[in-house]
């Protein structure tokens, strides 16, 4: 079973995340940030990762700590559930359309974390959430899940559509990458025969 639960408590946030990588996209999410909940629900549904998140943070200050720390914990749970990465497809990519918007996402699940983020917004907020926080979320996810993640919005006008294609695209590309390849059962998808950190 590729499942994991991570809890993280700091002076700023207290977060629990549980994942089942072979789930059906079922979610139970409460971060205290309505728009972030909406994006995480989409992430769960389109990745087919069952996701439970409980977050309590210093929202009276701003949304930064809760947003970033939620991604840290989700990323750590995904990494733990993946184990040694044996048998996965490793790579995933997609062009994600939504109305007037198109976003390209590519992923390498390799324990070599990196983020390329080519996304711009024309508004400082969506709902009550600062748009600058979205890059922080994806950076924290990539770093803590150990994935190389490229997200590029090719075009779009509606800010809600732009960020939603980023979350859905990342979810769909991740779904491809962590899927078990029946031809590679038990095999590390690397000529190095290892995907430990730093290799």
Rounded mean pLDDT for each run of 10 residues along the chain, 199 residues in total = 96 97 98 97 98 96 96 98 94 98 97 97 94 98 98 98 98 97 79 61
- CATH code where residue 90 lies: 3.30.230.40
Instruction: Classify residue 199: in a domain, yes or no.
Output: no
DSSP assigned state of 14? E
Tally of domains in the chain: 1
Answer yes or no: is 193 within a domain: no
The parent domain of residue 91 ranges over 3-184
Edge-to-edge strands, sheet with 101-109: 91-98, 101-109, 147-155, 114-118
Task: Give residue 196's pLDDT.
Answer: 67
Q: Which pLDDT value is given to residue 199?
A: 46
pTM of the complete model: 0.94
The full 3-state SS of 39-83, as one line of letters, equals HHHHHHHHHCCEEEEEEEECCCCCCHHHHHHHHHHHHHHHHHHHC
Q: Is 151 helix (H, G, I), strand (E, B) or coil?
A: strand
Rounded to the nearest 10 degrees, the angle between the axes of helix 64-82 and helix 133-145 is 20
Domain membership of residue 198 (yes or no) is: no
16 in any annotated domain: yes
Is the residue at 191 inside a domain? no
Q: Could you tell me if residue 190 is inside a domain?
A: no
């Amino acid at each position: 079973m590729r499942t994991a639960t991570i809890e993280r408590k700091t002076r700023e946030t207290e977060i629990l995340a549980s994942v089942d990588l072979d789930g059906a996209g079922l979610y139970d999410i409460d971060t205290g940030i309505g728009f972030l909940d909406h994006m995480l629900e989409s992430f769960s549904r389109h990745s087919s990762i069952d996701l439970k998140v409980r977050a309590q943070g210093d929202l009276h200050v701003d949304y930064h700590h809760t947003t970033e720390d939620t991604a840290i914990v989700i990323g750590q749970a995904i990494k733990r559930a993946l184990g040694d990465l044996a048998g996965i497809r490793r790579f995933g990519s997609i062009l994600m359309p939504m109305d007037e918007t198109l976003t390209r996402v590519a992923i390498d699940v390799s324990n070599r974390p990196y983020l390329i983020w080519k996304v711009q917004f024309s508004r400082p907020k969506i709902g009550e959430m600062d748009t600058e926080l979205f890059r922080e979320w994806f950076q924290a996810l990539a770093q803590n899940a150990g994935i190389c993640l490229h997200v590029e919005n090719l075009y779009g006008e509606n800010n809600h559509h732009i960020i939603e294609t980023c979350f859905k695209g990342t979810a769909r590309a991740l779904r491809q990458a962590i899927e078990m390849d029946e031809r590679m059962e038990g095999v590390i998808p690397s000529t190095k025969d290892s995907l430990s950190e730093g290799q």
